[in-house]
């Protein structure tokens, strides 16, 4: 297997999405928007070979990601040995592919669970309605926002990009992004996605405005498996309940057709994990790392 890696190009997104649609399980990492937005931060490149798209990162360490395409049709017994010449590990490996690889890779390497990379899955209906005692605190914050502010909810569109970029600059000042590498990298990814809003397929989102000021927004993507991935969600901390309100209102106004929303990973951040668990996930997309033997 010979892989020629090249930069990720926006004009190949249609072909990539067709390959992604063939995967038995689609993790948020592999959406084209994520590859495009975060590509420079991870040094991502891709290679196209025999029905599969291979993704390689160079930062913060060299590694392969899981290949994208029809996993069942691939001859892993012949492909696996060639993978070891490209990198010493495969990361962000969805559980469905890990199960396929279990026997083939048993002599090649060792699997390890990557808890911080698990995707959190939720019922859209549950987060849109916030019924019951388990969502009491969330519902209360949404109600406070509705009561305290005269707001407009709007579907996110290209005419809001400038406002969102301005709000993002303010948000980074509030959170001191310059002194937090993860937040600084996210800020760059958000800017890339917003600036290419018209060119990226499948994007959707919502925004909250108070007195013509953007106070919250969410950027999401419709995936080939009919799930919706929330890529970015930001609220102005001066407006209490803005995060809970944009989350609830976006899902409440989402067009029919999807049952699950994927709110991505917690990256082993204790505060982020607590926040994601507080919305009561119904499932996860578990991920693993395969480290090849020397």
* Domain range summary for the chain, segments of one domain joined by +: 6-118+288-292, 119-264
Mean pLDDT of 105-129: 94
In sequence order, the β-bridge partners of residue 284 are 120
Mean pLDDT of 103-132: 94
CATH topology classification for 6-118+288-292: Aminopeptidase (3.40.630)
Write phi, then psi, for 231 (nearest 5 degrees).
Answer: -85, -50
Task: Check residue 30 and give its pLDDT.
Answer: 98
Per CATH, the homologous superfamily of domain 119-264 is: Gcn5-related N-acetyltransferase (GNAT) (3.40.630.30)
With cut-offs at 50, 70 and 90, classify the pLDDT of residue 85: confident
Mean pLDDT of 36-50: 96
Task: Check residue 21 and give its pLDDT.
Answer: 98
Torsion angle, alpha carbons of 205, 210, 211, 212, to 10:
-20
Under 8 Å between Cβ of 200 and 193: yes
Lookup: tokens for 269: 């951040």
Mean pLDDT of 261-274: 97
Q: Which of 20-29, 102-111, 139-148 has the lowest mean pLDDT?
A: 102-111
Taking only the tens place, the pLDDT of each residue in 142-192 is 999 999 999 999 999 999 999 999 999 999 999 999 899 999 999 999 999
In sequence order, the β-bridge partners of residue 53 are 48, 68
Q: Which helix (H) or strand (E) holds 220?
A: strand 213-222
Mean pLDDT of the chain: 95
pLDDT over 90 (residue 1): no
pLDDT over 90 (residue 81): no
pLDDT over 80 (residue 106): no
Task: Check residue 82 and give its pLDDT.
Answer: 84
DSSP-assigned letters across all residues of 16-48: HHHHHHTSSS--GGGSHHHHHHHHHHHT-EEEE
Task: Check residue 104 and give its pLDDT.
Answer: 84
Task: Check residue 32 and give its pLDDT.
Answer: 98
CB hemisphere CA count around 290 (13 angstroms): 26
The yes-or-no answer to whether 6-118+288-292 and 119-264 have a common fold is yes
Higher pLDDT: 103 or 183? It is 183
pLDDT over 80 (residue 271): yes
Query: Residue holding tokens 């013509």?
Result: 212
């Amino acid at each position: 297997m010979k892989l020629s890696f090249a930069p990720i190009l926006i004009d190949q997104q249609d072909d990539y999405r067709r390959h992604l649609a063939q995967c038995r399980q689609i993790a948020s990492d592999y959406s084209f928007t994520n590859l495009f937005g975060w590509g420079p931060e991870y040094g991502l490149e891709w290679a196209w070979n025999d029905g599969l798209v291979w993704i390689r990162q160079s930062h913060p360490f060299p590694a392969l990601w899981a290949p994208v395409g029809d996993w069942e049709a691939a001859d892993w017994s012949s492909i696996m040995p060639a993978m070891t010449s490209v990198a010493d590990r495969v990361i962000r490996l969805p559980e469905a592919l890990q199960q396929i690889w279990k026997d083939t890779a048993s002599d090649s390497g060792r699997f390890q669970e990557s808890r911080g990379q698990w995707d959190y899955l939720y019922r859209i209906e549950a987060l849109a309605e916030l019924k019951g005692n388990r969502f009491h605190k969330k519902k209360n914050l949404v109600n406070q926002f509705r009561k305290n502010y005269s707001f407009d909810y709007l579907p996110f569109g290209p005419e809001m990009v400038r406002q969102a970029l301005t709000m993002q600059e303010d948000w980074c000042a509030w959170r001191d992004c310059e002194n937090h590498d993860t937040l600084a990298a996210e800020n760059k990814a958000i800017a890339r996605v917003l600036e290419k809003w018209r060119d990226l397929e499948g994007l959707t989102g919502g925004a909250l405005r108070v007195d013509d000021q953007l106070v919250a927004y969410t950027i999401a993507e419709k995936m080939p498996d009919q799930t919706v991935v929330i890529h970015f969600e930001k609220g102005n901390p001066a407006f209490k309940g803005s995060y809970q309100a944009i989350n609830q209102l976006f899902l409440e106004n989402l067009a029919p057709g999807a049952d699950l929303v994927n709110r991505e990973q917690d990256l082993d951040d204790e505060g982020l994990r607590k926040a994601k668990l507080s919305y009561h996930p119904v499932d996860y997309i578990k991920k693993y790392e395969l480290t090849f033997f020397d």
